[in-house]
Homo-oligomer: A and B are copies of this chain.
């Protein structure tokens, strides 16, 4: 019943290359990354249709390349493609998020263990200090952005230190799919404070070279994140 007002480009062709984004030639990985970014930031809402022609026009690339990028995103679990109907952004159900967090728990645990085993303990001292000092202040002052940014850096450092490309790839895949949520979890009452304590404990275990404990602590951390998520699911999903 809704009048389909203003469909873009009624009859006038775009005469010039009106490429809004990258000028000429964007490689497939770049297109996939750009799309991934938009999905993560919810610039493209879950459930939206991704029209190939539209994207091809915007990026100024042939449709085939957009198609390849969509195939990558499908393999990565970010979009769902229905034959002859196109690609839509995956809508996160609670069950799906639970599945992701169950897997993430053991993978992050492994990551913490490997990072502890691989590096020398002294390496994490400065990070521990950072969590005890500035990070604690961020939490106390409610500077969520700084806290998230530095936490992400720490997480990346863990992955790098683990030196396991397979693990890194899988963790990336999970992060891509849950990134839209972390900001909403972290502002839950008490979550940041608990997380901070847990990260500090983890770093202490890592500094003392106790890999088993590091793994266990990291897993507990993930489990508690999942608990928060399930408890406050109404406010998040």
Contact = CB atoms under 8 A, between A and B. Distances in A.
Interface stretch (A67-75, A135-143, A191-199, A223-231): A67-75
A227 to B, nearest CB: 16
B99 A167 contact: yes
Contacts of A166: 77, 96, 99-100, 102-103, 174
A207 interface: no
Interface of A: 2, 17, 68, 71-72, 75-77, 96, 99-100, 102-103, 105-107, 109-110, 114, 164-167, 169-170, 174
A167 B103 contact: yes
Contacts of A169: 77
Question: 8 closest A-B pairs (Cβ-Cβ)?
Answer: A106-B106, A99-B166, A75-B75, A99-B164, A106-B110, A103-B166, A103-B167, A100-B166
Q: How many copies does the complex hold?
A: 2
B106 A165 contact: no
B17 A167 contact: no
Contact of A109 (B76, B99, B106, B174): B106
A105 B167 CA distance: 11
A76 to B, nearest CB: 8
Given A102-B164, A105-B110, A106-B109, 8 more contacts: A68-B68, A72-B75, A77-B166, A96-B166, A99-B167, A102-B167, A103-B167, A106-B107
Contacts of A107: 103, 106-107
B71 A165 contact: no
Contact of A164 (B103, B109, B110, B164): B103
A56 to B, nearest CB: 16
B170 A170 contact: yes
A23 to B, nearest CB: 10
B75 A102 contact: no
A103 B174 CA distance: 14
A103 B164 CA distance: 9
